[in-house]
Amino acid sequence: MIVTAIYTFFIIGVCAFVLSFNWKTKRLYTNYTLIPYRIPILGHLFDFLKDANQFIFDNFAKYGSIFTANICGQRFTFLLDVHDLLTMTKNPSLVFSGSEMVTTIFGSRRVEKDIQEDIAQVLHKTIYPQTLQRSDALNALTVRFVESFHQSLEKDRMSSNEEWRQCTLFDLCHRFIFGASTRALFGDIEDEELKELETNFVTFNDKFYVFSRGLPVWFYKLFYRSAYQAREKGIKLLIKQRPNQSEFITAAREFYEEKHGDVFSPTDVGARMMIFFWASLGNTIPATFWVLYYLLTTDKGRVLEVLRDEILTHGENMNEMKVADSVINETLRLIGNVFLMRCTYKEDGTSLDLHDGRQLHIHPKDLVCYYPTISHYDKSIFPDPYKFQYDRFLHLDKLPGSYMPFGIGKSMCPGRFFVRNEVKTILITLVKEIELELVDFNYQQRPRFRKECVGTGVMVPDRDVKVRYRFKKQ
């Protein structure tokens, strides 16, 4: 996450400092490039916000796998060779600063370093493995999602009278996922509260990429008031405990309230719940959109027929859905988009021994960033990388080390297995119960990625696709 930008009114003094700092940097760093910039203090901010993906790819082509950008006073060193990734993630002096993300995006209060380390330790070593990744806990959560999903689906079936209905694909995926996922995690939420949560989620999520840039609170209050207020309303709604909430939410809530109740207010706990709430929806909904989009548009829907054969052969055994797994993996390769960041707080910084023999020195508070999309589109790793190939991962015993749409290490998405099960549930339903077709689809106007949302997880489409659907006769 981007550390809070440095603002000052002493322009002349700051400019002199920046020029001096850049000169020293060029002396110390002889094996990579500090990208030149024209605007003091802001540096590459506007280019990065406009299209971070293009910014990284352009500089990768121009300067190679290591270069440094200045983004509003924060130095980012991009380390883009996959062979150097473990050197970065295994360095004990480089840490993943999740506390900054929690504070800037979701509004939870800052906590002391020892408390933050305890939270990270308990979440990653105990709560996530026991409540999201252990097979029985994952199965229970999936069953709860399936039950809630089919309840909402049955209401839709009853009102449709098995007639064709027209909508957009993203809206359909949102309706499939939102209520079922929220109730699976947070329990029996009343319909009115669910609608209020949904309204606030949509407003906040639309500007989520701005909050992920780590700007000061006053900036959001002034320029993104609606999104800021929607986040705060969502937090208040999530303070409340509800019957039948998941084992995961129960464990996390009890940990915050009982062990750190002297630090966290109810609003702080609500903000922590907001993290889980957004994470369960903000990436799952667009991921489902892209999976269905590629299935509908690739080889005139032939892939969907292959998937149908698999599901009809193996029933609803998700562990046997190898084609579905390959489809999901290939989709995430194309649209998974995260920044893997580390920072050092050591006074003298730290050094990385790179795979080619060079040594890279990292100054204190510099951010080191790996961008997996670079390797996901590397033709030496994935031939014809810009093409969707549903069977690309079908016969692999394990995923390549260069494939990491969910992140890596402590920054890896803890709910990745649940996300897969949610998408597979949609696919099973699509094959068995629903007919889904494109309407007036024009390939020349196909959806692409919202450029401003780069680095926030799964890429959001910049436009929707018209579809129609109807329920099969029972």
What's the distance, CA 267 to chain centroid?
24
| Residues 186, 246 contacting (CB under 8 angstroms) | yes
Question: Residue 135: left if φ>0, alpha if ψ -120 to 50, beta else—which one?
Answer: alpha
**DSSP character for 84?**
G
β 74-79/456-458 pair status: unpaired
Q: How many helices (H) and strands (E) does the chain have?
A: 20, 12
What lies within 8 Å, CB to CB, of 447 at 6+ separation is 293, 461, 462, 463, 464, 465
Cβ atoms < 10 Å from Cβ of 334: 22
Q: How far is CA 183 from CA 106, 132, 171, 177, 193, in A?
A: 21, 15, 19, 10, 11
CA dist 31 and 354 (Å) reads 11
250 vs 137: CA distance, rounded Å: 13
Residue 283, annotated as binding a ligand: yes
Distance (Å, rounded) from C-alpha 340 to C-alpha 455? Answer: 9
SS3 state of residue 410: helix
CA dihedral 382, 386, 390, 393 (to 10 degrees): 20
453 is in an annotated binding site: no
User: Which residues are known binding-site members?
Assistant: 283, 413
User: Residue ranges for the binding site for heme?
Assistant: 413
Residues placed in the known binding site for substrate? 283
